[in-house]
Structure 1
Amino acid sequence: MKINKRIRKFFPLDFYGEDRGWRFVIRAHNTSEVLDALMWRSFLSVRRQDFNLLHLAVETFSYENDYSEGRIAEVSGSHGAMMRVKMLGPVVNVSALNQAYLEKQAAAQALCSLA
């Protein structure tokens, strides 16, 4: 008896990252982008300010952020009440991040050649 297995499509794959409570998604569309997506998630979790993810985003997702008691006093002035804030996070394709990185490197090379 022959068993036919279905090949399920797993793509696009989303990799969630977080930097100080701010969340984002890196989306891989094929197998060659998976390692790049993991690398970008790690890099952007530490150095999010290097790339404008909102500018590169193809869509957004919503999530709720719970603030701890130490930050509640700073944000709302309430005394000990839990505060949930609805936020939007960007979804960025790996290809867009790779392109932005190449453009940034080309601009740096152009500045170095002028000097």
Structure 2
Amino acid sequence: MKTKKRIRKFFPLDFYGADRGWRFVIRAYSTSEVFDALMWRSYLSVRRQDFNLLHLAIETFSYESDYSEGHVAEISGSHGALMRVKMLGPVVEVSALNNAYLEKQRECAELCPVA
């Protein structure tokens, strides 16, 4: 008796990145998007301000962060304690980032014509 092998799907894959305590997720839906997701995670970890991830996000995830990032939080009665804050991070698709990049390049080409 032959049994059918169940094919497991591992997609979508989420790649977590961070920039100065602010976290985000880049989501890949196919094997062709994995390399792009890794590239975007690296790029956005350094230059997050180049793209509005909150505008491109399809959903959010929650995480806890040290608001003071190693500095002493000066809250009444808790001198010397780190303040932990629950925050929301955006989940962005690779295709949305690729489209935003192409749009940005198109705008730059229109505004900065080469003589």
TM-score scaled by structure 2?
0.88
The answer on whether the counterparts of 2:72 and 2:80 sit within 8 Å (CA) in structure 1 is no
Counterpart of 1:44? 44
Counterpart of 1:70? 71
Task: Count residues with an aligned counterpart.
Answer: 113
The answer on whether the counterparts of 1:26 and 1:92 sit within 8 Å (CA) in structure 2 is yes
Question: Deviation string for 1:18-74 (max 9, x for gaps)?
Answer: 00000000000011000000000000000000000000000000001024441524x
TM-score scaled by structure 1?
0.88
4+ aligned runs moved over 6 Å, structure 1:
none
Distance in 1 between the 2:103 and 2:69 partners? 39
Give structure 1 stretches of 5+ with no counterpart.
none
1:90 aligns with 2:90: yes
Distance in 2 between the 1:18 and 1:60 partners? 14
Distance in 2 between the 1:47 and 1:97 partners? 13
Counterpart of 2:54? 54
Give structure 2 stretches of 5+ with no counterpart.
none
The answer on whether the counterparts of 1:69 and 1:80 sit within 8 Å (CA) in structure 2 is no
- Structure with greater proportional helix content: 1
Q: Secondary structure at the match of 1:24?
A: strand
Distance in 1 between the 2:72 and 2:40 partners? 29
Deviation, structure 1 residue 79: 1.5
The answer on whether the counterparts of 2:21 and 2:69 sit within 8 Å (CA) in structure 1 is no
The answer on whether the counterparts of 1:69 and 1:81 sit within 8 Å (CA) in structure 2 is no
The answer on whether the counterparts of 1:28 and 1:34 sit within 8 Å (CA) in structure 2 is yes
Deviation, structure 1 residue 83: 1.2
RMSD in angstroms over aligned alpha carbons?
2.0
Q: Percent identity?
A: 75
